[in-house]
Structure 1
Amino acid sequence: MDFRALKTFEACVRHGHFLKAAEELQYAPSTVTLQIQRLEDDLGVSLFVRDGKRMIVTEAGRWLHHEAAALLKSIGTMRQTVSDIAAGDSGSVRFAAIEPVASQQLASVVADFCKIRPNVELTMEVSGSRTIAERVRSGELEFGICAAPPSNLMLEFEPLIEERLGVMLNINHPLAEQDSITSNDLAGLTVLVKEPTCVYRELWETAIYPTRRNLFSCMEVGSFFVIQQMVKAEFGIGIVPIYSGLEQEGSLVIRPIADLNPVISIGIAYKDKHLLGKAAILLMEAIKVIREIPH
């Protein structure tokens, strides 16, 4: 069944006149007549009967008009949706990021993106760097914000920022008065660190071990927020990325580790930009603004 003929038929019924339908569709009147005749031949029924100068819709024609109107509306919606997806104004994006980048830098960027493109179905997950890279590779995520993935995953990686580890201290702690901390300053203290699979824990152990591992005792805590609250309660000190947003005026400060200066690169990991939708690419471009955002 010819789509153009259905569109012509719907216009004829809506206007009640072939000539007015021809004017709307910018067809010659003879073209409208020919398309209706071909549609009737295709269906094997009469869709109109002539009553003097009037064209009256038959019962079969009335039923077809109802169905054709719904179909044409659905096709119009499909066309618009496809156009919106191609422009990045619709579609879906699923990505993940590690903490504290997710809360400290990405949250506001993602919120702004959603305000501009409210019809994009966006899912933002928070996970570990290794898990994110593996899920990007498997296709579960369009992209991830994480540390550089292992080479065997064959992912593209665009560095965004370099993060440095520091020591989170209660404002009442004696070391809080210093501008920076050395590893020897940690002697005898309880140090709160993330779980072994966390890239910041791996960075910390690479920097501090094996020469200084017996200086202090470690306690594993699976959340930067919990580390923050424990330090606030004056239990131990925390090893965290240096973000001013993790500090709390009057209660917590973060000091750099002067003699170690552990640094890690965080960026965007993805498989192939040619396989990504426009919305995903636009979100990735928006996220790159964090290169200019101070920690």
Structure 2
Amino acid sequence: MELRHLRYFDAIAETQNFTRAAERLHVTQSTLSHQIRQLEEELGLVLFDRSHKKVALTEAGEMLRSHLMPALQQIDRGLQALSHPAEALSGEIRIAATHSFNTRLVPLCVSSFLAHHPGIKVSVEELSASLIAKRLASGHLELGVAYRPEDRSELWFEPLYNEELKLVVSDRHPLARRRRVRMIELHNCRMVLLPRQFSTRLLLDDCFEAAGAQPLVIAELNSIAPMIELISQTDLAGIIAETAVSPAADLRTIPIEDPTPIRTPGLLWKKGANRSPMVKHMASLIRRAATGHAG
């Protein structure tokens, strides 16, 4: 059985006439009749009652068409998507990302997405990882770019890559010329960090404890951009993903070891949610971009 057999069958069922169906399909009536006979022989069923002027579907034919129509429509939509990708998707997509990814990665992916689908509205929120997880679970978001949630009962997490956090200081800081810094050396170091409601801060606290270090947390800010600005203007140090720090002459990023703080970002979505073609397309763009992002 081939797709053309099914299209021929559908055309005859709709026109109830072999001649009109042949004209619509741009084939000869004899070719059309031969193809339908092939289909009936393969199925071992009679699909059309040819005893009247109008061709009528038999009971088997009616049953086949009831199941066939949705499949043909789905095939046609897929072919249309390939021929007219800019028109294939419509509607709105709601995503959220933590600051590290909303600085460069997500805007890059949204730009690529809109270049292919300019008619789609893309709504992006910058939220903490915990809030992203909550809003995905409640159905207010369709896709998240964050870190592995502590409670994974309602969410799927797809790891993208491992991300190393680094020490960020101004070019005037005593550690600015160092090639590497051990975590113990940050004992009593004046620092600005995220508050403890952020998973990244909890990760850093674990690393400090493992190294036996206790920094002097002078400031806590809940957004990376003001942290970086504060670092550039003061003697405070921070620990931030290098991908979130735009190149600047007055800043230095330094690897940390013993231990090295590492996070695993990934894609998040709700278990059991029906992921639309829009969500799947955006996810594929993020996966591809993350490959270069990690490098």
Quick one: distance in 2 between partners of 1:189 and 1:283? 41
Residue 256 of structure 2 aligns with an amino acid whose one-letter code is I
Quick one: distance in 2 between partners of 1:152 and 1:160? 17
Q: Which runs of 5+ in 2 are unaligned?
A: 1-19, 25-72, 82-87
Q: Secondary structure at the match of 2:235?
A: coil
- What residue is the counterpart of 1:265 in the other structure? 264
1:178-217 matched pairs, under 5 angstroms: 178-209=178-209, 212-217=212-217
Quick one: distance in 2 between partners of 1:274 and 1:225? 33
Quick one: distance in 1 between partners of 2:276 and 2:235? 47
In the TM superposition, residue 199 of structure 1 has moved relative to its aligned partner by 2.0
Quick one: distance in 1 between partners of 2:255 and 2:97? 24
> Post-superposition, which runs of at least 4 consecutive aligned residues in structure 1 deviate over 6 A?
none
Q: Is 1:160 the counterpart of 2:144 in the alignment?
A: no
The answer on whether the counterparts of 2:211 and 2:259 sit within 8 Å (CA) in structure 1 is: no
In the TM superposition, residue 235 of structure 1 has moved relative to its aligned partner by 3.1
The answer on whether the counterparts of 2:203 and 2:261 sit within 8 Å (CA) in structure 1 is: yes
Moved more, 148-157 or 121-130: 148-157
The answer on whether the counterparts of 1:95 and 1:125 sit within 8 Å (CA) in structure 2 is: yes
Q: Which of the pair has more CA radius of gyration?
A: 1
The answer on whether the counterparts of 2:155 and 2:270 sit within 8 Å (CA) in structure 1 is: yes
In the TM superposition, residue 148 of structure 1 has moved relative to its aligned partner by 1.1
1:30-63 residue CA offsets vs partner (Å, 9 max, x unmatched): xxxxxxxxxxxxxxxxxxxxxxxxxxxxxxxxxx
Q: Which runs of 5+ in 1 are unaligned?
A: 1-21, 27-78
- What residue is the counterpart of 2:276 in the other structure? 277
Q: Secondary structure at the match of 1:275?
A: coil
Q: Secondary structure at the match of 1:235?
A: coil
- What residue is the counterpart of 1:225 in the other structure? 225
> TM-score under structure 2 normalisation?
0.66
1:78-227 matched pairs, under 5 angstroms: 87=81, 88-209=88-209, 212-227=212-227
May I ask how many residue pairs the two structures share in their alignment?
A: 216
Quick one: distance in 1 between partners of 2:191 and 2:128? 21
Q: Secondary structure at the match of 1:174?
A: coil
In the TM superposition, residue 164 of structure 1 has moved relative to its aligned partner by 1.5
Distance 1:294 1:97, change over 3 A: closer
Percentage of matched positions with identical amino acids: 21
Quick one: distance in 2 between partners of 1:192 and 1:132? 23
Quick one: distance in 2 between partners of 1:226 and 1:215? 20
Quick one: distance in 2 between partners of 1:152 and 1:248? 35
Quick one: distance in 1 between partners of 2:214 and 2:185? 13
Residue 163 of structure 1 aligns with an amino acid whose one-letter code is E
> TM-score under structure 1 normalisation?
0.66
The answer on whether the counterparts of 2:166 and 2:255 sit within 8 Å (CA) in structure 1 is: yes
Root mean square deviation of aligned Cα: 2.6
Residue 167 of structure 2 aligns with an amino acid whose one-letter code is V
